[in-house]
Amino acid sequence: MPGFELFGDSERKQVQDVLDSGVLMRYGFDGMRNGHWKAKELETALSHRMQTTYAHLCSSGTAALTVALASAGVGAGDEVIMPTFTFAASFESILAIGAVPILVDVDDTLTLNPEAVENAITENTKVVMPVHMCGSMADLGALKSICKKYNLLLLEDACQAIGGSYHGKPLGSIGDLGCFSFDYVKTITCGEGGALITNNETFYENAHKYSDHGHDHLGSDRGAEEHPFLGYNFRISELNAAVGLAQVSRLDEFLALQKRNYTILREALSKLPEVIFRKVPDGGVENYSFLNFFLPTEEITRKVHKVLGKNGVDACFYWYDNNWHYYRKWEHLLEQKSLGKLPSEVKKGFNRNSVTDFSKSDHWIGRTISCLVKLSWTEEEVRKRAIKLTETIKKNL
Ligand SMILES: *Cc1c(COP(=O)(O)O)cnc(C)c1O
């Protein structure tokens, strides 16, 4: 998945434009910037590629999620449904605006289980936030119907699945809002950066204002703006946006490489009947950033994962024991360890559905291995890796 692997002349050229003009900020300084508006150009490129009316860049994917929630008017005491398997950014963004994260089980799609989502809805629920982990998506048709039935917002975290699609539409463009991350390890990178996309004009207008201190961006000079509401600083710099502008034009090239490498690994593993692949919902196309599969038991999975590492098959992850991605190791969230006081609702809040039993998530994640698909591997390297991967699993079943 990492865009950092393929980095070269086009990125350098874009960054040089910014260095030559000296305008490192995305707003203002019109006379000095030699016609370079890297953040604006990247927003235009993204909204075209993602088939949405609007795109707005932020300083990170976590910032984009926070801004997306704030733009949609989500705030103190509102409940946001999120999965047990994700990245810490999910609950961080929810807590940042004073809302309450409600953890919900994942299934063999490795994303939100729609039935569990429906069971978790209360009169305080405002948002369902599926996270398209490891390159594939939640059952968006089912989640959309639930959101419609209960009048909830659908916010897609597509940070790990840029370029994937669902019934022909780009991931991120299907919900009311969608978010991407362009940090250093994502499919395309800005160094640090993120974006939200939407077709909703109000959300977009709120988003660019909120992420720039609540300025309305209507003043003739930088600083002459009015302040329709409180905001924050989640701006991206022109330097970061310049890198992203080069990377976004290479997205399809990166996806093709990921698909080739993924397919070689998958075909090899398909020869083992004990290996079951992660379920991709009908109509879904992955972005091929990871190959995800289940082994017969937790014990076998742990053993295989360990031996893979020893045998030099690197970049294969066992999320069940991972600190960043699975609820079992989030002691800071589970034990409410905060530097300051959390919104009082949170204390009784996030386990409020009395769902402390995530054995359904454990059932799947305990048997999951995800192998990162790199862009820089040659075809020969992938073929060798495929043999090693398959033989290691076969020997340890
Ligand atoms: C990387 C990531 C984020 C956050 O992105 P940053 O740019 O690192 O803040 C959010 N959600 C998921 C699923 C991610 O993988």
Span 18-27, pLDDT tens digits: 999 999 999 9
Q: Are 53 and 189 found together in one domain?
A: yes
Domain boundary among 250, 274, 299: 250
Does the predicted model carry a pTM greater than 0.75? yes
194 Cα nearest atom in ligand 1: 7
pLDDT of the residue at 224: 83
Domain boundary among 211, 228, 250: 250
Span 353-372, pLDDT tens digits: 545 789 999 999 999 999 99
Q: Are 130 and 268 found together in one domain?
A: no
Is the CB–ligand 1 distance for residue 370 below 6 Å? no
Residues forming beta bridges with residue 233, ordered by sequence position: 212
Q: Are 259 and 245 found together in one domain?
A: no
What does the DSSP 8-state code read for residue 121?
-
pLDDT of the residue at 128: 98
Residue from 38, 126, 186, 209 carrying the catalytic annotation: 186
Q: What interhelical angle do 89-96 and 61-71 show, nearest 10?
A: 40
Span 75-129, pLDDT tens digits: 998 999 999 999 999 999 999 999 999 999 999 999 999 999 999 999 999 999 9
Q: Are 264 and 222 found together in one domain?
A: no
86 Cα nearest atom in ligand 1: 13
- In angstroms, rounded to a whole number, what is the distance separating the alpha carbons of residues 119 and 355? 10
8 Å CB contact between 176 and 188: no
Does the annotation count 329 as an active-site position?
A: no
pLDDT of the residue at 348: 55
Is the CB–ligand 1 distance for residue 89 below 6 Å? yes
Q: Are 238 and 260 found together in one domain?
A: no
65 Cα nearest atom in ligand 1: 10
Domain count, the chain: 2
Is the CB–ligand 1 distance for residue 181 below 6 Å? yes
Span 123-159, pLDDT tens digits: 999 999 999 999 999 999 999 999 999 999 999 999 9
Is the pLDDT reported for residue 226 higher than 70? Answer: yes
pLDDT of the residue at 343: 67
> Any idea which residue has 């600190």 for tokens?
323
Give φ, ψ of 161 to 5 degrees.
-135, 25
Q: Are 388 and 290 found together in one domain?
A: yes
Domain boundary among 215, 250, 285: 250
With H, G, I as helix, E, B as strand and everything else as coil, classify residue 251.
helix
CATH number of the structural domain spanning residue 359: 3.90.1150.10
Q: Are 132 and 230 found together in one domain?
A: yes
pLDDT of the residue at 168: 97
pLDDT of the residue at 344: 54
- In angstroms, rounded to a whole number, what is the distance separating the alpha carbons of residues 244 and 238? 10
Give residue 298's domain range. 252-395
Q: Are 239 and 270 found together in one domain?
A: no
- Please give the torsion angle defined by the CA atoms of residues 123, 127, 129 and 130, in that order, rounded to the nearest 10 degrees: 70
Q: Are 246 and 286 found together in one domain?
A: no
CATH number of the structural domain spanning residue 174: 3.40.640.10
